[in-house]
Amino acid sequence: MVWVRLDDGFSEHPKVVAAGPIAAHLFVSALCYCNRNLTDGFIPEDQAMRLVRDDGVTALLDRLVSVGLFERDAAGYRIHDFLDFNPPRKKVMKSRKANKERQRKWKAKREKLRSQQALRAKSGNGVNNAPVTPAPYPPPPPTPLGVRGKGEGAGARALKERGAAPGKERISKAISDACRVGVHEERARDMIDAHGIDAVEKANGIGLARAVRQDGVEAWFDAVKGAE
């Protein structure tokens, strides 16, 4: 679509006033025709006769010529100084072609993006669509002494030397009691490996008794180290 450019003082221009309101209407209709059809200001004779429904259209055209708004052409009329205020056909066509190509690229980019999104939604990905692995239930039993890591702690070696190893239930209870004192489960396991379960069980009793005084954890560690 091409817009018709009219100055806001058009109706007061001396040429328009001299032509009269009906001729001015014919002039605006001619502007619309030229911009719509990209004629660079030319109006064929037969088309000029159909711009307004008036029996005196020939007289109106002559009046527009006489005041200087129209110019006579061998095959019709030309709007005076049309290309001074309106873009030529060549420029309009170039702009339309550029806009069409821009829209084509934008649509192609949009379709490519939609295809990629559809493919990701169909195949899934590790960020949004992969199923979440639930935590094991029930939780695995505590790792036996001397199994974690590459070596054995002092407590595990001492038990091995005595020919006895604590059962899983005893280890679990010792770790559970240590957690009640405020010791982390992994830290409790490390202390069992390093100092033996007897020391940890003894420390659990001391730590639980003193937990209400907010120093159960410190007392627990001191008791474990002192029970070796």
All structural domains of the chain with their residue ranges: 10-85, 154-226
Percent of the chain with pLDDT over 90: 36
Query: Residue 146 above 50 pLDDT?
Result: no
Q: For 122-134, give one letter per residue: b (16+ CB within 10 A) or e.
A: eeeeeeeeeeeee
The pTM (predicted TM-score) of the whole model is: 0.47
**Between the ranges 20-24, 158-162, 196-200, where is the mean pLDDT highest?**
20-24
DSSP tag of 73? E
Task: Convert the pLDDT of each residue in 34-92 to its tens digit.
Answer: 999 999 999 999 999 989 887 789 999 999 999 999 999 889 999 999 999 898 999 99
CATH tag for 10-85 (out of 2.40.50, 2.60.40, 1.10.510, 1.10.10): 1.10.10
Q: What is the pLDDT of residues 181-223, one digit of tens each?
A: 788 888 888 888 888 888 888 887 776 666 544 566 677 677 7
Q: Looking at residue 178, what is its pLDDT?
A: 82
